[in-house]
Structure 1
């Protein structure tokens, strides 16, 4: 008896997970290879399987996995299952809520927790914890309950969450109009020469690695969105510098991208190359010291320390601060000791 192959889903049962337009300067490249750079946690076999049942579409036509992408192609990626981020389930998890009233709450997010579900992170996110504890949180424009803004998975610190529709619109407008206050503490590679400064440069997707963002200037500025970061040196520690960064805008990875743009990548920021020794000596002991710092702080050295905004009901300006977490403190202390040793 002949065995039937696996049942392929019909096109009507496919659900869109990604869509984007290929950049103008893209060289011809097999679409399965191309998508590997653009979809986090994707495997080539999964992409090829999707192509077999018509789930990889270019300009609304299904293509095979050996199709060569061209500039300005419109690509859609469809799978047989709905995006997991659409299937929100409440989860009982600890939340460090430092303030709460009828309109909003302020959460101190630990490093390692994803803010909202997305590809590769479908549970254990901050939103899963919020909807378990709070009923009827208002959706933002991206259908994400309660979220006014977000911070990266491996960034620690403060977030404000809206509990009512009125609070959501009021707080979102403050972030859009740049009247909210957001200050971060970061440890960056190198000696930041100026005591303070402002970084301006439009931020957009990296043309070859969609998981990164870069600064676009001058003729290419239209590829990104305006971004402004004000920085101030807090402490010089030899081969690294502790800085305060105040956000005027809130682009994805803004501090990480802007600091790298001026030559000061965040310490241990793996996505942007900060998990390599970017400054310092070639001595083996130094390498061991840096490796120990990486072990103490196994993430980018970035903490959302201060958050300020007008209360949506009372109009009172509220400011919250949270201390730099232990992993960053230990890493900073190590560098403090090392820099003093170097001065002897």
Structure 2
């Protein structure tokens, strides 16, 4: 299959995990249609507003450093081919491929729902993570500003919040982030896979360029906002060669917190990633997948709690050693998010803060 300009996925193949119908375009019909209508158009982005009953999700995973999150959007226009959240679109009878990056969902009442949750007498504060599933600063945030509304609420009630993003749009909320940071209520992580804009455009076609993300890290650090560079995902024989250079660039911008994470390929992400490799790097596709399987115990993916975030084998050991050597040389510290929960003041649903 050929790459689609401006999109990460090569196809819109449906999931078969939930017995959904799978549709395939007949080649003879496609030839006839193109003769009449011309070449097929690139898929356009659509946004559907949804109004859930709750917005704060809780988890008990031992592999992640947070127990609650807010996801303002479903799907992500950034189109990162490796995104582990792609399979969630299958729950909506949509493709984890092209549908995930073109058929988006926005939750405009997110801040209102969060206020109602924080107002409950049973609620106990702990850092809320944003950007754990889909990016809170993907392009449609410019129109909906849902992430900004959530940050405004967190600042109002003194609630800690963390952000992970691949976009320099985070700087649009720098005024709020500076105030939150001054009270030790926020921490921002920016994920960077490589420093090559051409490669980045193939991997994550609608995310900010690596240079813009690096510049955003520097702006955050200069403003006093605790910022972290996440080298994620590391893709063997595709992006791993950039590890040290990313850390050096970040260190030069006064970033002192870094982490790395090797690629994960849950459910439908594995076949989508294979299609992407065949379209962009056919000469090394076999080597890439063989290395990934060696890291994941002989499988495309390790889904098990406790091991899914800890790659094994000689390649994993090499990446781990390279990161540790570079971190020691550049003065990086062990990542730590010790935000202050003591400032939280429960709001009432009408917007007034509780005195308790």
Report the TM range for the smaller structure's normalisation.
Answer: under 0.3
Higher relative contact order (CA 8 A, sep 6+): 2
Q: Which has the higher helix share?
A: 2
Rg larger for: 1
Q: Which has the higher strand share?
A: 1
Normalising by the residue count of structure 2, what TM-score does the alignment of the two structures yield?
Answer: 0.26
Normalising by the residue count of structure 1, what TM-score does the alignment of the two structures yield?
Answer: 0.27
